[in-house]
Every structure is written in structure tokens, then in C-alpha cells.
């Protein structure tokens, strides 16, 4: 286990490049097993969750080659239909391998998937979609899936716009016989990017970017090459940390369309973002003052399905709010444990009132003091790094590997921006 040691009080300055999208590459790795041909992916981030997913590919009989940001996966034959408990426990997206295994082998067995402990994380959308496509699902000590005669198209309505549920069932539907409709589908940029990859492999998906996907099943998919889209959550995290520290940065490798709502939320906290064609500029000349609603009431920053503000961006924005003059209510609707990390901010001197598991009021500006903090999940860990950057003195953020699961070379990127940070094993 390693620890990040951070000396606070240094504004972030410089240029950072957005990495490949974590939430796109993880399901893409599983999608590569839908075909017995080679698939090449570029712009692949070097993060822990990617390594765990590749371990599953090898466990099932696939071949993996990596050179820098380029990844080759070739699953000419699959030798196993069961993913062992240890690998399942390491990464939540291990469940994504069910669709490829059902298509290739007609069965799949796995164990409860791991991931961040941020509250109840339903898998019902996965089970619902697979059963609608003709799979038999049995949940006991292990999770057992089987299908006879192949998957069959269906008209489905999701009770929530689940990102991983949409990605997984889309992967199953593209190789199901007949026509499928996924209604109330998620349409985040990473969901769209997975759909584009599948279409390059020979799938027939229309409605990409909308809440209704129409899919004409095909008997088999081909190999292809694809560049993974950038990680808009990582980019927003660095922008929030830079603004909180009083810095000035440019994030390169971005796309405008992914930041319309993000810019609105930053504006609520008095931060102006300049959205350029392929980059975002954050000036050090910011007001850092909460903009109240037009009637003078307390503004609310809430998360929601795309194109609303992403839940994964909330934690770093809360850290930013501690350095902004005024009060703001954060409403996390999706996960009842995501806001627990706010207790750590309070211990550092933040003026925060936790109303309930889903709502917290942050009043700033607070003078944060250094301390030692555990990293409870990926996004909270990054938010606590941001708090340490703003604090007086030297802080330690424990369980650095948790942050490594979702952020590529985080200390190297922060060092390049002038942060005083080092990793201690």
C-alpha cells in the first residue's frame, strides 16, 4: 500500500493532457471478446482497473499485447466460461464479460463484482436485459448465466438509465438474432464511444447519443481498430483542483460537447471555463464566489443522467466549493455513500453541513489544515488530493492505489503542474 504526501499552498499551473476514458475502455475490453478476431485500441489509459480487466481476458483464454497507449486483444478461442472470485472482486465491470461469454460459449459464471463502496449499486438492469434477450439467470453463491439457441432480440425498457447496464445489454443485443430496442438507455459520451466501436466491428446500432437504441442483430462481429475517447471526468477533476488552488491550467485533448453542463456548474461557483475546439483553458483570474439563483436562494448542484452533471464529478466540485465564497447545496441523487468523504473535509476545517446521505451544504471560503486521510473511493480520493493541495502544511492521503484505479499517473501529472506531491510506499 502507498501514500501520497502533499505539501499544500501551491497553485496548479501549466498544461495537462486528458487520458483515455476509463468508463469507455473497461466495457470495450470486454467487447473485444465478442469476436474471434483481433481488436486494436488506442489511447488506452494505464490505470489499475484496466489491468484487472486484462487479467480477466487472459484468465478466459484471450491474448493481450500492450505497447504504450496501444492495446491489442485477440480472443481466437475462449478456454473458460468462469471468472474466479478474486478477479471479480477487484473490478465491478467484470460483469461485462457475461454477454461475450454467452455469445461465444452459451454460458458464464462469475461472482459478486467489486468496485467502489459508494452505496447500493444495482445490477438489476443487467439481469433484466439479459433475461429479455433469452438468457437464464441464477443468482446464488455464484452468478450463473446460460442461453440455449443463442440470444434473441427484444424490446426493453430500463427502469433507470444505467450506464453499465446500457453498455452491457447493448453488447449482448448486437449479436442477438432479430431486432432489439433499448428504451431509457444511457447516452453518456463513453456509452456512445462503445457503440461506435461495436459498429466498427460490424454491429448495426442506430440512435447513438439518444435515449433509444435500435439494434439489428448480426451473427458475428469482426476485428477493427479504434481510438478511445478522452476522459471528461478526469479533465473536470483537474480543472476543479486547479481552480480550488488558485491556479491556471489548460487541459488538452478535450471535445466541447462533453462540457456544456460542466461549464454551467463551474459558473455557479464563480469559475469561468474557456471551451476551445480541443482544449479547455482555466484562467487564474476567477471570482470564486457562489452565484445565487435569480431569486437570491441557495443554488443546488445536483447530478443526473447525461447530459446532466455526472455523479463522478461531484466529489472534486465539493472540494472546490470549500474554497469559494458563499454557500451551495450539493444533491447527490444516485449513491447514498458518496458524500461520506465530506467528514474528512470537515476534519480539515471545511464548513460543511451533511443534511442526509444525499445532501450537503458547503459554505466557504474555508482555511483547510493538513492532516492524514484515507482514500475511500476513486473520486473521493482525488477530491481529498485537491483538499490537500489547498491546505496549510503537509497532508497524507492513504490508499493511493484506490486513486490509481481511475486516474492515470496522477502524481506525475500533478508534479508537471507544479504540485509538491510524492508517493511513499
pLDDT one-digit tens code per residue, 165-175: 999 999 999 99
Final residue of a domain: which of 162, 196, 227? 227
* Together in a domain, 44 and 62: yes
Residue 136 three-state SS: strand
Angstrom distance (rounded) from CA 284 to CA 271: 9
For residue 232 the three cell numbers come to: 471528461
* Together in a domain, 193 and 87: yes
- pLDDT value at residue 116: 46
- Which candidate, 97, 53, 94, 89, places its Cα nearest to that of 71? 53
For residue 73 the three cell numbers come to: 486483444
The CATH number of whichever domain residue 187 belongs to comes to: 3.65.10.10
CA atoms within 13 A on the CB side of 138: 10
* Domain limits for position 276: 3-19+230-424
Angstrom distance (rounded) from CA 257 to CA 263: 11
* Together in a domain, 339 and 221: no
* Together in a domain, 292 and 328: yes
Final residue of a domain: which of 227, 246, 281? 227
Q: Do 14 and 416 meet the contact criterion of CB atoms below 8 Å apart?
A: yes
Q: Do 167 and 27 meet the contact criterion of CB atoms below 8 Å apart?
A: yes
* Together in a domain, 362 and 219: no
* Together in a domain, 243 and 337: yes
Beta strands at 212-216 and 179-183: parallel, antiparallel or unpaired: antiparallel
* Together in a domain, 221 and 243: no
* Together in a domain, 260 and 373: yes
- pLDDT value at residue 121: 58
Residue 193 three-state SS: helix
**Lateral strand order in the sheet of 107-110:** 107-110, 143-146, 136-139
Q: Do 265 and 310 meet the contact criterion of CB atoms below 8 Å apart?
A: no
Q: How many CB atoms lie within 10 A of CB 124?
A: 12
Cite the active site residues.
116
Residue 175 three-state SS: coil
Enter the pTM of the model: 0.95
- Quote the number of domains for the chain: 2
- Which candidate, 230, 169, 219, 220, places its Cα nearest to that of 195? 169
Q: Where are the alpha helices (DSSP H) in 184-313?
A: 189-200, 232-244, 260-268
- pLDDT value at residue 48: 93
* Together in a domain, 276 and 139: no
Taking 50 as the pLDDT cut, the residues of the chain under it are 116-120
* Together in a domain, 255 and 383: yes
* Together in a domain, 12 and 33: no
Q: Do 6 and 395 meet the contact criterion of CB atoms below 8 Å apart?
A: yes
Taking CA atoms, 133 is separated from 101, 340, 393, in Å, by 14, 38, 57
- Phi and psi, residue 164, nearest 5°: -65, -35
**Lateral strand order in the sheet of 38-42:** 63-67, 70-74, 38-42, 224-227
Taking CA atoms, 47 is separated from 114, 232, 239, 408, in Å, by 16, 16, 20, 5
Final residue of a domain: which of 227, 243, 259? 227
* Together in a domain, 45 and 163: yes
Amino acid at each position: 500500500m502507498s501514500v501520497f504526501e502533499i505539501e499544500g499552498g501551491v497553485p496548479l499551473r501549466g498544461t495537462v493532457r486528458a487520458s483515455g476514458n476509463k468508463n469507455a475502455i473497461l466495457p470495450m475490453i470486454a467487447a473485444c471478446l465478442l469476436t474471434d478476431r483481433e481488436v486494436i485500441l488506442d489511447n488506452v489509459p494505464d490505470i489499475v482497473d484496466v489491468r484487472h480487466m486484462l487479467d480477466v481476458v487472459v484468465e478466459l483464454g484471450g491474448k493481450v499485447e500492450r505497447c504504450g497507449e496501444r492495446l491489442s486483444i485477440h480472443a481466437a478461442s475462449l478456454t473458460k466460461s468462469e471468472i474466479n472470485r478474486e478477479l471479480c472482486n477487484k473490478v465491478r465491470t467484470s460483469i461485462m464479460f457475461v454477454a461475450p461469454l454467452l455469445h461465444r460459449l452459451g454460458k458464464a459464471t462469475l461472482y459478486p463484482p467489486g468496485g467502489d463502496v459508494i452505496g447500493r449499486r444495482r445490477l438489476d438492469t443487467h439481469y433484466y436485459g439479459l433475461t429479455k434477450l433469452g438468457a437464464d439467470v441464477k443468482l446464488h453463491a455464484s452468478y450463473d448465466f446460460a442461453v440455449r439457441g443463442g440470444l434473441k432480440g427484444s424490446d426493453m425498457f430500463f427502469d433507470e438509465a444505467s450506464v453499465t447496464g446500457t453498455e452491457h445489454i447493448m453488447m449482448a443485443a448486437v449479436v442477438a438474432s432479430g431486432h432489439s430496442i433499448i428504451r431509457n438507455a444511457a447516452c453518456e459520451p463513453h456509452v456512445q464511444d462503445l457503440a461506435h466501436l461495436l459498429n466498427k466491428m460490424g454491429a448495426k446500432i442506430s440512435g447513438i447519443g439518444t435515449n433509444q437504441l435500435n439494434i439489428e442483430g448480426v451473427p458475428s462481429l469482426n476485428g477493427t481498430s479504434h481510438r478511445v475517447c478522452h476522459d471528461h471526468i478526469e479533465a473536470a477533476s483537474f480543472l476543479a483542483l486547479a481552480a480550488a488552488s488558485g491556479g491556471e491550467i489548460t487541459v488538452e485533448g478535450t471535445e466541447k460537447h462533453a462540457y456544456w453542463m460542466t461549464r454551467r456548474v463551474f459558473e455557479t461557483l464563480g469559475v469561468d471555463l474557456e471551451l476551445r475546439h480541443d482544449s479547455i483553458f482555466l484562467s487564474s483570474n476567477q471570482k470564486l464566489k457562489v452565484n445565487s439563483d435569480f431569486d437570491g436562494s441557495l443554488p443546488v448542484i445536483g447530478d443526473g443522467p447525461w447530459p446532466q452533471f455526472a455523479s463522478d464529478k461531484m466529489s472534486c466540485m465539493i472540494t472546490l466549493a470549500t474554497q469559494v465564497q458563499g454557500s451551495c447545496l450539493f444533491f447527490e441523487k444516485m449513491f447514498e455513500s458518496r458524500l461520506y468523504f465530506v467528514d474528512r473535509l470537515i476534519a480539515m476545517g471545511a464548513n460543511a453541513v451533511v443534511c442526509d446521505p444525499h445532501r450537503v451544504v458547503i459554505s466557504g471560503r474555508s482555511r483547510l489544515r493538513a492532516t492524514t486521510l484515507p482514500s475511500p473511493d476513486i473520486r473521493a480520493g482525488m477530491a481529498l488530493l485537491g483538499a490537500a493541495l489547498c491546505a496549510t502544511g503537509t497532508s497524507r492521503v492513504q490508499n493511493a492505489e484506490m486513486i490509481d484505479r481511475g486516474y492515470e499517473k496522477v502524481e506525475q501529472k500533478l508534479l508537471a503542474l507544479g504540485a509538491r506531491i510524492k508517493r511513499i510506499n
